């Protein structure tokens, strides 16, 4: 999984398994915010820990800060209808963590507004992929093989 190179842990290994990875990579966090307006913050959270823990905590933050409607369908359990599909949001957060450029000293961000939700990840497209490529079938280019491989093994793909 390319987590050890020349006998030393890679950044991926540190982000995945170290008890305090931010000691070595301060940018390896997810900064979550709930905004009323661009400068009016309702909730703010800097999520640290392993990147697997960060994904779970970011999803907790999102669920806490988006709306859910309960629909009675005649089934024993009510149906929960979220502002956004939780599966799509989880995929966006996982992709932001897996594919970000960790050499950039900025944080992964989740920004929630009344009318939109943004998941932002530092870095551009991987080498060899253009914006036009994204609109058609294209090869998957994994920027962080150790992180992507570990997430895949954890069923977080």
Q: Spell out the domains of the chain, with CATH numbers in brackets.
A: 4-153 (3.30.565.60)
Alpha carbons 54 and 87: distance in angstroms, whole number: 16
Using the predicted structure, report yes or no on whether residue 54 has a pLDDT greater than 70: yes
Alpha carbons 66 and 82: distance in angstroms, whole number: 7
Using the predicted structure, report yes or no on whether residue 84 has a pLDDT greater than 80: yes
pLDDT of residue 157: 67
Q: What is the pLDDT of residues 17-47, one digit of tens each?
A: 999 999 999 999 999 999 999 999 999 999 9
pLDDT of residue 77: 86
Please check whether residue 141 is in contact with residue 9, taking contact to mean a CB–CB distance below 8 angstroms: no
Q: What is the pLDDT of residues 89-108, one digit of tens each?
A: 999 999 999 999 999 999 99
DSSP 35-97: EEETTEEEEEEEE-S-HHHHHHHHHHHHHHHS-EEEE--SSSSPEEEESS-HHHHHHHHHHHH
pLDDT of residue 64: 97
Burial class (CB in 10 A: 0-12, 13-18, 19+), 6: exposed
Instruction: Quote the mean pLDDT of the chain.
Output: 92
Terminal Cα-to-Cα distance of the chain (whole angstroms): 15
Alpha carbons 8 and 24: distance in angstroms, whole number: 13
Alpha carbons 74 and 66: distance in angstroms, whole number: 25
Of 146 and 110, which is predicted with more confidence? 110
């Amino acid at each position: 999984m390319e987590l050890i190179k020349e006998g030393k842990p890679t950044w991926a290994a540190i982000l995945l398994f170290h008890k305090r990875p931010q000691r070595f990579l301060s940018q390896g966090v997810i900064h979550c915010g709930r905004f009323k307006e661009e400068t009016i913050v309702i909730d703010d959270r800097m999520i640290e820990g392993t990147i697997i823990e960060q994904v779970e905590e970011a999803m907790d933050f999102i669920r806490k800060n988006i709306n859910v409607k309960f629909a009675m369908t005649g089934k024993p359990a009510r149906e929960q209808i979220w502002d956004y599909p939780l599966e799509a949001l989880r995929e966006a957060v996982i992709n932001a963590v897996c594919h970000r450029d960790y050499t950039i000293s900025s944080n992964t961000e989740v920004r929630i507004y009344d009318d939109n939700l943004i998941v932002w990840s530092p870095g551009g497209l991987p080498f060899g992929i253009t914006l036009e490529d994204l609109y058609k079938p294209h090869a998957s280019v994994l920027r962080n093989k150790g992180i992507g491989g570990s997430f895949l093994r954890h069923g977080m793909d």
